[in-house]
Amino acid sequence: MSGEKKWRYAFFLGCVAPNRYPMIESSIRAVFDHLGAEILEMEGASCCPAPGVFRAFHIPTWLVIAARNLTIAEDLGVDVITGCNGCYGTLRDAWYELLHEPELKKMVNEHLAKVGRKFKGSIEPKHIVQALYQDMGLDYVKGFVKHKFKDLKVAVHYGCHILKPSDKRPWGGDYENPRFLDEIVEITGAKSIDYKDKFMCCGAGGAVRTAVKEVAADFSREKLVNIRDSGADIIIDCCPFCHLQLDLGQMEANNYYKDIIGEQFKVPVIYLTQLLGLSFGIDPNELGLIKNHELSGVSPFIPIDPFIEKIKEELL
């Protein structure tokens, strides 16, 4: 999209998207550019750091590193967006706590001074979903839809950190049964269907995937059974780590629990901006939806070809 940009954001990449799912990063960039948002690079940004690991072991270290990342966006003078729930949880929680706890802010800035930085709290950390839903608004985003999906049933997965802790989140509504992500999905014409335990964790959070992969896969197995029983064609998520667990985790659940799941899981996992991008008419290659290699051990692990075939006629 050419012309003057209406919004400017610093883009916090996190770890999983650029390293495991670069197609997610590509789709975010493509969609935000299409919508008239300028993306600024956060040079020198580090891990957020991961809330399930760093915060669990040493909160001061977690706060200082998070605050350092926020100061990079402060230097750019724009709000920071991220497409990862974990990164969002860290950046927003740290930002909120430092704004409301003067002693913590003082401690953090004493450490940041050693590297010539200072946390001011002058910008707001946002999830890309927040930018789409609150900054731009559904009516505006809907205006870019060129292709309406007519018979696409979607199982929406919110993930944990985008919703809670509720006192540090901007949604201002029912945190036990939210609809904002479903509403974004449904502007494409897709149908967001209800399924049992919809707001259950993907299984990877809290470092469970790292500590005991079989337990993480068991969480995923239960969620995937519920999704399969709902008749969903695809899973839509808004977090690369959830995406990893729901994609690679399907293969792991198929392996660990093959004796109890019956038919093996094979539900395509699509990131939110990949779906939006298709409905906007953006080239699927630009959205990372066309796999042009036969490398093993490289995402996506669950084939997405059935999804592309299902919607092909609607995109012609």
pLDDT by residue (tens digit) across 207-256? 777 768 788 889 899 999 999 999 999 999 999 999 999 999 999 999 99
- Per domain, the residue ranges of the chain are 7-128, 142-315
Residue 153 CA to residue 235 CA, distance in Å, equals 9
DSSP string, 68-108: HHHHHHHHHTS-EEES-HHHHHHHHHHHHHHHH-HHHHHHH
CA distance readout (Å), 295 to 125, 265, 298: 36, 21, 6
Q: Please tell me the predicted confidence (pLDDT) of residue 1.
A: 46
CATH topology agreement for domains 7-128 and 142-315 = no
Nearest to 284 by CA among 305, 253, 263, 261: 305
Q: Please tell me the predicted confidence (pLDDT) of residue 60.
A: 95
Give the class (CATH, top level) of 142-315.
alpha beta
CB 91 within 8 A of CB 48: yes
Residue 11, SS3?
strand
The residue whose two tokens read 């956060």 is 42
Q: Please tell me the predicted confidence (pLDDT) of residue 220.
A: 93
Residue 22 CA to residue 42 CA, distance in Å, equals 17
Tokens of 206: 């809290």
Q: Which residues in the chain land under pLDDT 50? A: 1-2
**CATH dotted code for 7-128:** 1.20.1050.140
